[in-house]
A and B are shown apart, each in its own frame.
Chain A
Amino acid sequence: MSDLDQFRSDTRAWLEANCPPEMRKPVTADEDVFWGGRNTKFASEPQRLWFERMRDKGWTVPDWPKQYGGGGLDGAEAKILREEMARIGARPPLSSFGIWMLGPALLKYGNDEQKKEHLPKIAAGLIRWCQGYSEPNAGSDLASLQTRAESDGDHYVINGQKIWTSYANYADWIFCLVRTDPAAKKHDGISFILFDMTSPGVSTKPILLISGKSPFCETFFDNVRVPKSHVVGTVNRGWDVAKYLLQHERAMISGMGERGVGRPLGQIAADSVGVDAQGRLDDAMLRGQIASFEVDEAALACAAERAVDLAKAGQGHPAFSSAMKYYGTELNKRRYEILMSAGGIGALEWESPRSHEGARPRAWLRTKANSIEGGTSEVMLGIVAKRILDLPGA
């Protein structure tokens, strides 16, 4: 038996023994997701057990180095772990912008001290992070951001406003883009900085969305003092860190569909609209839409797998995550249009225990942001056109 086969059988046995049955059911409610942080509470005992067991193996971040609380797995092993978790439908033990976005950026750009300080706390779910990127007048044109950080001895004094800060109201720390040199060209005067959300001068306000609730906030900085040592990477070169992090954010968003609804769309639709004598969905057009959706979904899963393989072989294109983000988010919107169509009248109920307080229509509305957040579909297509296809007029 090869080492990898051995790893697979050990992993399978460990997951079977340690993943509670409750943690193998699809995520259907907000509280099914464990985000960690200073003020966190577990929704259930199985959720706690599952998190702690995975944390103790370093498998909240399986491919991070062990010294930072990771599992130290190589690419092939991490893939096997993902496959084995998917096989039993295991939930992620910890969801975290620290894992998906900040961690990779710190591993690449952080200094030793920053890595030692922050990475283990992310891995152990002790600190919940939020992302301070977008500003009211700088959406897709992110680099035109205006939040300024003025030098004052060993500190920066930060003033400005961020918007669309997901879960800012629950976050402990923020990773934030600030303008440290207003005189420089717009990409050249930005720095990437970390600070505690309890710092004096930080305030947040939730934004009500069309889905009736929202993870998003407006975040305000009023003379927030942050030590200069909290800058990640080089001062005024924060754009490099930001871009690198965005690749990870896009990869994360493009994968959102996979965590979706658990049961196959065809079955969900069959329960709702019924089947004909041959057992086919009793709505031929809907059946066709689902089938063509599933062709694209399965093909996208292949492309995601191939992207990982290409990256591992050193043949990946850094901008390919933009193509995947575009495709994945457009597909996820299609999935929810189909779900709404399949649900019919039943999917319209907004406030009732029967509809889980309108879980489906709220999720449907939520997906409309997928092709806006993390860079709009149009921005993604522009990146592909210019960076991969090398079309003129950048």
Chain B
Amino acid sequence: MPLLLNEEQTMLRDSARGFIGDKAPIAHFRQLRDSKDATGFSRDHWKTFAEMGFAGLLVPEAHGGSGLGAVEAGVIMEEIGRTLMPSPFFATSVLSVTALRGGSEAQQAAWLPKIVDGSLLAALAVDEGNKHRPHHIAMKAERAGNGFKLSGDKAFVVDGHVADLLIVAARSGGTPGEREGLTLFAVDPKATGITIERTVMVDAHNAARVAFDNVAVDADSVLGEVDQGGALLDRVLNIGRAAAAAEMVGLSDEVFGRTVTYLKERKQFGKLIGEFQALQHRAAHLYTEIEVTRAAAMKALQLLDAEAPNAAAAVAVAKAKAGTTATLAVQEGVQMHGGMGMTDQFDIGLFMKRARVCQELLGDSNYHADQLAKLKKY
């Protein structure tokens, strides 16, 4: 398959870009941030996302969705990355839909159509420590009666404070560090024993800490098989990582475009600063990094859709590469904009903060380079 968007995907991109650029430019994000909006995104925009078929992009047609794949999800994420649009798309439409698709027909029928019509938001609770280590999950799922009791703390739950459904990875067996013994649960966030704290983070996007204190869930809440959640969790995380890589490609490309424009406008020492070779070479290097990263992200998304055996390695490459490239892009962006780049009034700093969060999201560059080394057995 060519590493290019096909005609339908290009149309999808154009319509996403049109809507997001028009209705959710960076000013929209600023307004939410500055007003300390309780929701953190626009429910009206989310309704439009549902009407455009984006909310249910990955939901099979049998459940009313668009039945599209990872490549299309990446297309939306890249556009989101360009304007920093706060949106439930990542947590609900990418991570949670993929998790729910690992559930029974009855579970899918109960949840997926509501995601498609925009009436249900969901969030994935995985991380516990300061770094993403999914196989080190310690949260306990102890058998109790017909079901389980969940105890433990989750952090960095994207959209956790607005979710109508939490998808929780917990340990029903094994010991932390093992892939075996994990189970995914679909949990009502209003259940007794759950405390949710919205954490306002450096990037002003939505995240929460969620504490579970002996939360009773019945057996019907298990997604897939008990103790066998590792494979499903990997699938969910991998599409999430590739989607986050796509967001970082969009973010990097946007920052880069703004920076190049600035190089062509700003005069110092009687010259356009873009005439200085020191800056030209750095800009050209960054361009090359972004193009290489774009190809790697596209490859990962395509291989996920093809369910190829080497998809996991491609995802590790894409997420590792996108993290370092985004870091470089925002650093160069601020540096080349000079003092203006350090002001809050200017947008570049917002991208820098978001890039740092995307870097940590579902594993940073070091984590994924390490994964690649493990896959290659050295």
- Which residues of A are at the interface with B, using a C-beta cutoff of 8 A? 264, 266-267, 269-270, 275, 279-281, 287-288, 290-292, 294-296, 298-300, 302-303, 305-306, 309-310, 312-313, 315, 320, 323-324, 326-327, 378, 380-382, 384-386, 388-393
Contacts and interface: CB of A to CB of B under 8 A. Distances in A.
* Residue of B284, B294, B318, B376 with highest tally of chain A CB at under 10 A: B284
Given A306-B2, A381-B284, A385-B281, 18 more contacts: A266-B376, A266-B378, A288-B366, A290-B373, A292-B365, A292-B369, A299-B292, A299-B295, A299-B321, A302-B299, A303-B294, A303-B295, A327-B288, A380-B284, A385-B280, A385-B284, A388-B287, A391-B264
A392 B281 CA distance: 13
A382 B277 CA distance: 8
B3 A309 contact: yes
* Residue of B291, B313, B370 with highest tally of chain A CB at under 10 A: B291
B291 A303 contact: yes
Contacts of A378: 281
A327 B280 contact: no
A393 B313 CA distance: 42
Contacts of B295: 299, 302-303, 305-306
Give the dominant DSSP class at A's interface. helix
A393 B280 CA distance: 10
Interface string B260-292: 100110000001101101001101110110011
A307 B80 CA distance: 25
B314 interface: yes
Contact of B372 (A294, A309, A310, A391): A294
Contact of B378 (A270, A306, A324, A382): A270
A385 B276 CA distance: 11
Given A392-B274, A393-B274, A299 B287 contact: no
A393 to B, nearest CB: 3
B369 A384 contact: no
Contact of A309 (B4, B263, B365, B366): B4
Interface residues of B, number: 43
A392 B366 CA distance: 37
Contact of A295 (B274, B281, B288, B368): B368
A281 B366 CA distance: 16
A295 B296 CA distance: 9
Contact of A291 (B272, B299, B369): B369
Give the dominant DSSP class at B's interface. helix
18 contacts: A266-B377, A266-B378, A290-B378, A292-B365, A294-B369, A294-B372, A294-B373, A295-B317, A299-B318, A302-B296, A303-B294, A305-B3, A306-B295, A313-B4, A324-B288, A326-B285, A381-B285, A389-B287
A281 B373 CA distance: 9
Nearest to A309: B2
Contacts of A299: 292-293, 295-296, 317-318, 321
A393 B271 contact: yes
A322 B274 CA distance: 19
A294 B296 CA distance: 12
Nearest to B366: A288
**Which 3 pairs from chain A and chain B are nearest by CB?**
A266-B378, A393-B275, A385-B280
Contacts of B352: none
A391 B281 CA distance: 10
Interface string B352-373: 0000000000000110111011
Contacts of A294: 317, 369, 372-373, 376
* Residue of A296, A300, A315 with highest tally of chain B CB at under 10 A: A296
Nearest to A281: B378
A296 B281 contact: no
Contact of B272 (A310, A384, A392): A392
Nearest to A275: B378
B378 A287 contact: yes
Contacts of B138: none
Interface in B312-367: 313-314, 316-318, 320-321, 365-366
Nearest to B313: A298
* Residue of A264, A267, A315, A384 with highest tally of chain B CB at under 10 A: A384
Given A280-B378, A315-B4, A392-B272, A323 B287 contact: yes
A266 B373 contact: yes
A302 B280 contact: no
Contacts of A385: 280-281, 283-284
A382 B280 contact: yes
A310 B287 contact: no
Interface string B218-249: 00000000000000000000000000000000
